[in-house]
Each structure stands twice: as structure tokens, then as C-alpha cells.
Amino acid sequence: MAFSITHHKPKLVVPAKVTPRETKHLSDIDDQGSTHFQMPTIMFYKYNSSMEGKDPAKLIKNGLSKTLVFYYPLAGRIFEGPNKKLLVNCNGEGILFVEADANIELDKLGNSIKPPCTYLDLVIHNVPGSDGIIGCPLLLIQVTRFSCGGFAVGIRLNHTMMDAYGLKKFLNALSELIQGASTPTILPVWERELLNARSLPCITCTHPEYDEQIESKNAWKFLEDKLVQKSFFFGNKEMEAIKNQVFPNHSESTKFELLVAFLWKYRTIALGLRPEEIVRLTYIVNVRGKSLKFELPRGYYGNAFVAPAIVSKVGLLCSSSLSYAVELVKKVKDHMNEEYIRSVADLMVIKGRPELSKSWNFIVSDNRSVRFDEVDFGWGKPIFGGVPKAISFISFCVPVKNDKGEKGILIAISLPPLAMEKFQEAVYNMTFKDVEGVNIISKI
């Protein structure tokens, strides 16, 4: 759909009060090689008559200035120290803020606001020179007003500073201060040393998520600029169809375990790799989770995740029942403990902060419990809130309702065009239902 957005001149928003001028160290979990990118998040809000006459851009901009008093490191700039260690110069330079106006009603965009968001580059404007990791603003926030009175809040975050849960804490504080609070309910806690490597680093666990095979890495890099992206909706009927494919002893597996096993197997089939190739499934595990028994302060807003990998030969994964993949996913949980977290932090220091493997790796992050779809700035909850697309081989599970009002999981997948056709067919045939936003090419 053709429409235009007018972007106003970007401005720097600084803390409303003088904040400490100091240097802060990021943790060794913060500056994993795989966090060195800009993470987008978008929320779309409908017109609310009770907010008539109030400008969301002005309220959010003023609220950001107040919030940065508490989250003042976000107003600073990152620089690199010895051994690639990232530090924050808390200099109060500010975050980037962009106002924009669209000549269209929000409703006209329909499902295109959901992943993969067609208009991502318009609602998160890439201000020239702002998208680096070192020496650039750590947050870019754009408020786009639509002609109906609705608006979008687009966020681009330097991922080294915090993860999705940290960003949600920041947005909750912003929401509270916009609506009249003098301080956030949960005060932010830095304490990044809690997730640093030990004084004598030692890799004590196996970490196939960082093993790189040059030939398969290069094969993926060759495909990377040819990828297409589609989203797939999994509601109760789709999940029941997946559950029916596994042995009874696996039917009590979580939705996420079943779904990632399903996606990994049929994505691998669609890629058409040689049977002896090694493939990986990497999924993000939140350190804050109760199952890990790892205590972090309630206000901790730094990155707090590890990314264990499951490994299989292509032939075995593709020819075995879905239960084989589910079993591999469930086994990883047995290795998730404090020692594993410490081992990851130590590995970062010992091996020079490597990225997660690009060797036929499929990375999935479950963002459902973050609840970006509940962030309320006074206009009510957004009609969509979450990560707006897959990023190369990284996919994100977000909670949505389909056109019928059914709750489910939406996940965007990136694949080469021919592989995408095969994957779509597999999804259709294995769940027996067309999924929202996907045109099925054919049926077997």
C-alpha cells in the first residue's frame, strides 16, 4: 500500500536532571558477540477519544527525559576497552527521538503491522550515522502519528545494553512517569558484575552454539541476501495437530518445545541439505527464569540470557519422527543451571566474545512472556506490540490474535524463496490449515 510518512528533524532527548558522569562496565553476558546489533520493537495504538487533544509524541518525549534520570546509562555512549570489553561512558548525550506523521489511517494497514512488518523502515527511521554499536545513541525512538489519531512507537535498541525484559522494564517506567508517577515502581539496578566471567575463567560446559564450520557458515552467508520472510500463526488447532505427531510421552511438552521442534525439522527439510550435514537449533533461555535458580535483583535490566544449541545430522533429524526433535529440545533443559551461565561468561573472555554459530543454525527467541502488547502510555494497550520481523536466521515468537480473535503464536521465518515454498507446504500439510498472511503454493 502506497502512503507517505513525513519525518521531522531528529532530536536528542537528555535526562531531565543532572545525572552521574561516570564509566560503567557491561557484563560479559551483555557483550556477547551476538548482541552487537540493533534490535527493533514496534507498538501500534488505536485512537482513544479520552486522550483527545493530547499529542503522543510530546508526552512520550517528555516522559523519556524523566525516565532517563533513572536509566541514565542509556543516555551515554559505548566504547571498547581491553579484550573487546564494552564500557558505557555515562555522559548524558541523550537518546535519539524522531517525530513523524503518516497520511493514512492506521486501520488501513491491516495485518501488515504484524511481523514481518512491511513498513518497518518508515516507522523506525534509520537516522544516518546512528546505527553503530560504538559511539552512537543507545536508543532511537520514533512516534508516528496516523491521520485517524492512532500512532506507532518504533524502538531501536543497542542490544548490548539490555535484552527484551530489560527494555520492558524501561517502557514500564516510561509509562508510569508519563501518567503522573514521580518514580518508577521498580527502580533500575545496574550491577552488571553479577554476570561477569569468574576471576579465573574456565569453560566447564560444552557449547556447540559457538562451534563454527566454515563451509556451512559460508553457504548460509551466500544465501543471506536472498532470503524472503513470511509469518506463520499457530493457534490451538495448529498446536493440537503438532501434538498429534509426537509419542504420547511427549504430548505434555510445552507449546514452545513442540513448536520449535516442529519448525526446526521442517525448516531443515525445506533447505534440502545433505544428510551428513550438521544443523543446529539454538533457543534463548532467560536467566531470570525460576527453573535456573539464578538470583538477579528485580530491577536488573541488563542482558540475562544464554543460548544453548541442539545439534543433529540432517538425515537423522529429517527421517526421524517429530518426537526425536522434541526429545533433543527437552534434554537441553537438563544442562541449564548456574554453572552453564558461568561457563558462557567465561567463554566470552577466553575466546574473544564469539557470535553464535552461523553454521545452519536456527535461533528462536520466545518473546511471549515479555508482553510488549501490554505497554500502555495512556491510550490503552497496543493492537500489536513486539519484535516486527525475523533477523536473518533469528526468529521471534510473539503473542497475537488472528482475524477471528483467537490467541496464538506468530513467528516470522527467513528462508530462500524455494525453501520457503517447501516450508509453507509442510506447514499446511502438517497442520491442515492455511495460516494467516501466508499464501499456500500447492497441496500434496
Residue 299 CA to residue 71 CA, distance in Å, equals: 11
Task: Specify whether 8 is catalytic.
Answer: no
When computed from its CA atoms, the radius of gyration of the chain, rounded to whole angstroms, is 22
Residue 321 CA to residue 28 CA, distance in Å, equals: 38
- On whether the CB atoms of residues 135 and 78 are closer than 8 A, the answer is yes
Residue 374 CA to residue 385 CA, distance in Å, equals: 8
Residue found by looking up cell 545433505 in the block: 274
Residue found by looking up cell 521471534 in the block: 396
Measured in residues, the chain has a length of 444
Beta strand 278-283 with 361-366: parallel, antiparallel or unpaired? Answer: parallel
Of 389, 391, 382, nearest in space to 153 by CA: 382
Residue 37 CA to residue 41 CA, distance in Å, equals: 13
Task: Specify whether 159 is catalytic.
Answer: yes
Asked if the peptide bond before residue 116 counts as cis, ω within 30 degrees of 0, the response is yes
Burial 257-270 (b: 16+ CB within 10 A, else e): bbbbbbbbbbbbbb
Report the SS3 class of residue 306.
strand
**CA angle, 150 then 154 then 159, to 5°:** 160
Spot the catalytic one: 36, 125, 159, 207: 159
Residues with catalytic function: 159, 376
